[in-house]
Each structure stands twice: as C-alpha cells, then as structure tokens.
Amino acid sequence: MDGQELKEARLAKDWTQEKAAERLGVTQAYLSMLERGRRALPRGLALKAVGVLDAPATALPLGEGAAFRLGGSERLRNELAWLAYPGFAHLRGKKARRNPAEVLLEALGESDLDSGVVEGLPWLLLRYADLDWDWMVQTAKLHDRQNRLGFIATLAGQLGTTADENRSRKLKEYVGVLERSRLAREDTLCHDSLTEAERKWLRANRTEEAKHWNLLTDMRAENIPHGGD
C-alpha cells in the first residue's frame, strides 16, 4: 500500500481525513503527507490501515525477502482460508494477514505441498486480479521458480471466463514475460518427493502445458476444484 492506495481506501469508506486519522491513531497532517507521498507509509501503519479501511488483501505490504520463508502445507492452508479460498472455508475465521502475492510465491517455493494447497493457487491468481505481478515475476526469477509460476498462470488463464477479460489479458501478458525466462531443467510442482517410477509416468502422461513448463505434474485445469468460484 502506498499513499495513493491509502487515499483511495479512505475515500471508498467515505471518510474524511480527520476521521481516518483518528481511527488510525495519527494526526490529520501526517495522514495528508502520507496520502500525498510526502512521507513513506510505515509497514506497521499499512497493516493497520488495511484492517481499519477494509482495503483489499493485495494492499497488504509485501515482506522484503519473506516470500520464500517456507512454512509447509498447514500454514498455507490457513493463509488460503484467510484469503477466502472456498476449498478451506472450514478454516476461515480471520481476515487476511499477508499479501496474496507473497502467499503464492511462498507456496511455489515449497518442495512438497498437499495437493489441496497446490490446487488453490490458480484460484488465487484469478481471485486477486491486482496482484503485484512485477514483484512476483522478479522474486520467482531470483529463486528459479518462474516455471512453476508460469504454469499456474497458464492454468488460471484457462479457468477464466469471458467476464474476466481484464485479468485474462494480464495473465496472458505475464505468462509471456515468464516465457522469456523459462528454465530448461526439469522440476516438479511442489512435489519433489516423487519416486523415479512416478516421474517416469508423469513424463509420459503430463499435459502439453506441463511439458512446456518442464514440470512433472498431472494437474489439469478441468480437474481443479473451485476454479470458477
């Protein structure tokens, strides 16, 4: 969240600067400087503002170097639940506490994840159309995860409908960006514990999309639950 997003969230609530400043625990003068970009928005205040102003989860600040702080399937199930993923609705109970872009990149950095978590990743890309794609692509490339991100984005594009024209256009655009840095080495989709027999089977039976992104996975758009939710 930057100053302009802070202002837009305040206006969406139909709040004056005075009212928003009071709720945020700052002075009106300081809030004015933040909204005009005269001061950098502190991370702690940005986190508070998202809750107070009911801003979207994509406005949550991205943690520096935190995208690949691996936490395993249980943590990511909770993260997806907080982001309103229908597959984990039974775990819901709190508002999102991390930017969905950060959650996605953390998931793609895992060596082994439950299939239910992996199946929720295309939904994440469709649900949050205004993700910080430049940050995601840069971070994925730094950690050699661009193939995983490219494949998930490809599946998300296949799940989109004609009503999702804008987000489908963005998905297509960034799939093209990722294409230019596609890795030739073989990888899995967060399932590195595959046996050699499983790997051999997947090489022969994976989709053309998985083959294109050099991933050993049998994940298909038509089999993804909640893809259109």
Sequence-separated (6 or more) residues with CB below 8 Å from residue 141: 181
pLDDT at 229 over 70: no
Q: Specify the DSSP element, H or E, that contains 38.
A: none
Question: Please, which residues bridge with residue 187 across strands?
Answer: 215
Cβ neighbors of 151 (< 8 A, separation 6 or more) are 189, 209, 210, 213, 215, 217, 219
Number of Cβ within a 10 Å radius of residue 142 = 13
- Place 124 in a pLDDT band, splitting at 50, 70 and 90: very high
pLDDT for 211 equals: 97
pLDDT of residue 68: 52
Distance CA 132, CA 70 (A): 20
**How many CA atoms, within 13 angstroms, populate the side-chain half-sphere of residue 103?**
31
Q: What is the mean pLDDT of residues 54-74?
A: 72
Domain residue limits, the chain: 3-55, 72-223
**Separation between Cα atoms, residue 91 and residue 88, nearest integer Å:** 6
pLDDT given for residue 180 in this prediction: 95
Residue with tokens 């987000």: 167
> Among 19-23, 63-67, 216-220, whose mean pLDDT is lowest?
63-67
Res 111 pLDDT > 70: yes
Q: Phi/psi of residue 191, each to 5°?
A: -145, 60
Select from 154, 139, 156 the least CA-distant residue to 212: 154
Residue percentage of the chain with pLDDT more than 90: 58
The residue count for the chain = 229
CATH among 3.40.50.40, 1.10.260.40, 2.10.260.10, 3.90.1300.10 for 3-55: 1.10.260.40
Question: What are the C-alpha distances in Å from 94 to residues 46, 76, 78, 81, 86?
Answer: 18, 14, 9, 8, 14
Top-confidence residue, 33 or 167: 33
Q: Reduced to 3 states, what is the DSSP secondary structure of residue 193?
A: coil
Which single residue is written with the structure tokens 């998905």?
A: 171
Q: What angle do CA 142, 147, 150 make, to 5 degrees?
A: 105
Q: Which residue has the tokens 């996605």?
A: 104
Report for 22-26, 46-50, 211-215: range of highest mean pLDDT: 211-215
Give the pLDDT score at 48: 87
Q: Mean pLDDT, to the nearest integer, of 52-78?
A: 75
pLDDT at 100 over 90: yes
Q: Is the pLDDT assigned to residue 95 strictly greater than 80?
A: no
- Strand stretches in the chain, DSSP E: 187-188, 215-216
Using a pLDDT cut of 70, give the percent of the chain over it: 90
* Mean pLDDT for the chain overall: 88
**What is the pLDDT at residue 161?**
60
Residue 74 binned pLDDT confidence (cut-offs 50, 70, 90): confident
